[in-house]
Amino acid sequence: MLSEAAKKNRLEKCQKLLAAVRAGRLSDIVWTDEKIFTVEVAHNSQIQRQLLPRAEKNSRKRRVKTRSLFPKSVMVWAGITSEGKTPLVFVDKNIKINSETYQNVILSDTLLPWARNHFGERNFILQQDWAPAHGSKSTISFYRHHFPGFWDKDMWPSNSPDLNPMDYSVWSYLQQKVFSSPHRSLDSLKAALQMEWQKIDVDYLRPTVEAFTKRLEACILAKGDHFEQYLG
């Protein structure tokens, strides 16, 4: 449920974004995001029992399934354009994503060399949400030095995963592919993520990114509110 202030903020920023997109090229935008993938789906109780008829109460058919409330997980960072994708970055559970880690491991070691190779001398735009590590003074200084075309807080609306291609399409697509088979370890999960990530190509990326413009238009039509009903 979005507040009236949030709707107003989204409407104003969607109007700015639409003008910017129409004046430039969608292929010049790098869309980034993080998602936590788990080996096992978390459950709201420690024990899940299978109910059986009383006659079978003591039979071998009786089962008790246990699921950890704290499943093994890994955070994954990635980025896409309509023409390519960054490497995946795995951040294990015991590593805190602070400004230093974000700048060194993700921006400097991964995104910067990839962007130089992908765009060459072309200017490009960096999109991201504004999690604390993304919006610190030192991280913003890093953007201004290395990614001068980044969308700042005045451009990208908060609480808007429905506008980021990573959120409205890529992560769910990747999760569906990865969990078509079960995984019992983080190594298995990571290997599957890498394999399925490599399979994602331009035929998928291009329409996924191009849908952004329609989503902006729908959000404006909805006056900043949720807009799925306008997508058709």
Which residue, among 181, 192, 180, 189, has the nearest Cα to 37 in the 3D structure?
189
> In this structure, which CATH number among 3.40.50.300, 2.60.40.1120, 3.30.420.10, 3.40.462.10 belongs to the domain 4-41+77-230?
3.30.420.10
Q: Which is more confidently placed, 95 or 230?
A: 230
Query: What radius of gyration do the chain's Cα atoms show?
Result: 21
Least confidently predicted of 19-23, 181-185, 194-198? 181-185
Query: Which tens digits make up the pLDDT trace of 162-192?
Result: 999 999 999 999 999 999 999 999 999 999 9
pTM score, whole prediction? 0.86
Q: Report the pLDDT value the prediction gives residue 189, as an integer from 0 to 100.
A: 97
Give the distance, in angstroms, between the CA of residue 33 and the centroid of all CA atoms in the same chain: 4
Tokens of 203: 């035929």
Q: Report the pLDDT value the prediction gives residue 94, as an integer from 0 to 100.
A: 83
In percent, how much of the chain has pLDDT > 90?
81
Q: Helix axis angle, 186-199 relative to 171-178, nearest 10°?
A: 120
pLDDT band at 69 (very low <50, low <70, confident <90, very high): low
Query: Which tens digits make up the pLDDT trace of 109-135?
Result: 999 999 999 999 999 999 999 999 999
* Alpha-carbon torsion, ordered 64, 68, 69, 70, to 10 deg: 180
DSSP H or E segment with residue 226: none
Q: Which is more confidently placed, 121 or 43?
A: 121
- 3-class secondary-structure state, position 185: coil
Residue 21 vs residues 28, 83, 104: alpha-carbon distances, Å: 10, 16, 29
Please enumerate, as own/partner, the contacts of 43-52 that have beta carbons within 8 Å and a separation of 24 or more: 43/67, 43/69
Q: Answer yes or no: is pLDDT of 50 > 80.
A: no
Distance, CA of 48 to CA of 1 (rounded, Å): 32
Q: Report the pLDDT value the prediction gives residue 56, as an integer from 0 to 100.
A: 52
- Across all residues in the chain, what is the average pLDDT? 90
Q: Answer yes or no: is pLDDT of 22 > 50.
A: yes
Please enumerate, as own/partner, the contacts of 173-182 that have beta carbons within 8 Å and a separation of 24 or more: 173/200, 173/204, 174/200, 175/37, 178/37
pLDDT band at 106 (very low <50, low <70, confident <90, very high): very high
Distance, CA of 71 to CA of 171 (rounded, Å): 19
Q: Which is more confidently placed, 195 or 49?
A: 195
Least confidently predicted of 3-12, 34-43, 196-205, 213-222? 34-43
Q: Which is more confidently placed, 71 or 224?
A: 224
Distance, CA of 67 to CA of 7 (rounded, Å): 39
Segment 199-203 mean pLDDT: 98
User: Which residues, 6+ apart, have CB-to-CB distance to 122 below 8 Å?
Assistant: 28
